[in-house]
């Protein structure tokens, strides 16, 4: 790889860790690239000097083990471009895939920050934000909450509520935020009607360059996001409840009828909101159910 190619890849986030993983493949017919858009059956891959549409190689096709943001090894010819391998990720925003099969779906890979957009209107929901924060903490990235539609409503009450579960709330819209970062109107921002209802304008996940350095992965709004493992991430979202649990008399306290339960005392004293504790227990149950389903699947395969 010459210096110009390396410089082009570094603008996309290439570093020594990915270079070492690529070199370990030991195949001179492959070249590195970053997956920049997911069109379903084809993927836009940004190489050092071109951006071809690629298909998945046979080893990746069945499991569909790629996501926007992935660094991949491709075999590129004038006739076709094929993704042969995915380099190890340093972060992955993951959810349980929709459907009956218990499997993970990676939404975005190799990201440092995740922007969680929430509207300053009747759609505002702290419980949904807690769920999304759990997903982000599990990914290895850091969350940033973005409050949108602040031109239609006073953001102060919403910011106050957000401060009870998270901090750092930029007051800009999602597509508007990305357009400003990129310095041009590269994404369509849907008109928000008097009802406050806008249309989702992002139809596929895509990786976009930010002038001056950096990249943004824009993803369609997620109408459903089930957790995919993450007990430690859940604890990070609910640090207040975890801290209370340490003060309970019993280490295996269920926070129900046990004596000297600090969590129950906080609920009765009003220092812990019942809705937040209910959210915590609900997400705990969801994680346990995922673990049980995964265990059953492993036993079936091994048996």
- Residue 194's pLDDT band (boundaries 50, 70, 90)? very low
Residue-wise burial string across 8-43, b where 16 or more C-beta atoms lie within 10 A, e elsewhere: bbeebbbeeebbebbeeeeeeebbbbbbbbbeeeeb
What six digits make up the tokens of 85? 């391998």
Span 77-101, average pLDDT: 87
CA gap 119, 148 in Å, rounded = 5
Which pLDDT value is given to residue 273? 93
Residue-range domains of the chain with CATH: 3-86 (2.40.50.140), 92-218 (3.40.50), 231-302 (1.10.40.50)
- Within 10 angstroms of residue 158's Cβ, the number of other Cβ atoms is 21
Q: How confident is the model at residue 169 (pLDDT cuts 50, 70, 90)?
A: very low
The structure's pTM equals: 0.78
Mean pLDDT of all residues in 271-289:
91
pLDDT of 172 higher than 60: no
C-alpha 247/C-alpha 272 separation (Å) is 14
Task: List the Cα angle 185/182/208 in 5-degree steps.
Answer: 100
pLDDT at residue 185, rounded to an integer: 59
pLDDT digits (tens, 9 = 90+) for 127-168: 989 989 989 989 999 888 888 777 778 888 888 888 887 754
pLDDT surpassing 70 at residue 191: no
The residues pairing with 226 across neighbouring beta strands, listed in sequence order, are 96
């Amino acid at each position: 790889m010459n210096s110009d190619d390396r410089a082009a890849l570094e603008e996309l986030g290439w570093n020594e860790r990915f270079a070492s993983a690529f070199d370990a493949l030991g195949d001179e017919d492959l070249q590195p690239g970053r997956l920049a858009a997911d069109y379903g059956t084809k993927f836009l891959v940004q190489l050092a000097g071109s951006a071809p549409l690629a298909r998945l190689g046979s080893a990746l096709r069945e499991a569909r083990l790629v996501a926007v943001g992935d660094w991949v090894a491709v075999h590129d010819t004038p006739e076709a471009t094929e993704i042969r391998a995915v380099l190890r990720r340093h972060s992955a925003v993951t959810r349980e895939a929709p459907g009956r099969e218990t499997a993970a779906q990676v939404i975005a890979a190799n990201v440092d920050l995740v922007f969680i957009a929430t509207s300053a209107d009747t759609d505002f929901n702290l419980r949904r934000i807690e769920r999304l924060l759990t997903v982000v903490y599990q990914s290895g990235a850091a969350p940033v909450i973005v409050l949108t539609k602040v031109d239609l409503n006073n953001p102060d009450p919403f910011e106050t509520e957000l401060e009870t579960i998270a901090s750092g709330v930029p007051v800009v819209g999602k597509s508007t935020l990305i357009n400003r970062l990129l310095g041009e109107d590269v994404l369509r921002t849907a008109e928000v009607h008097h009802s406050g209802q806008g249309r989702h304008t992002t139809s596929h996940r895509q990786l976009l360059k930010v002038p001056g350095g950096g990249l943004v992965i824009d993803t369609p709004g997620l109408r459903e996001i089930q957790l995919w493992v993450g007990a430690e991430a859940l604890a990070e979202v609910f640090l207040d409840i975890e801290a209370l649990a340490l003060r309970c008399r019993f280490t295996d306290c269920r926070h129900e009828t046990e004596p000297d339960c600090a969590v129950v005392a906080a609920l009765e004293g009003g220092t812990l909101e019942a809705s937040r504790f209910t959210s915590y227990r609900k997400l705990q149950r969801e994680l346990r159910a995922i673990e049980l389903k995964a265990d059953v699947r492993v036993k079936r395969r091994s048996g």
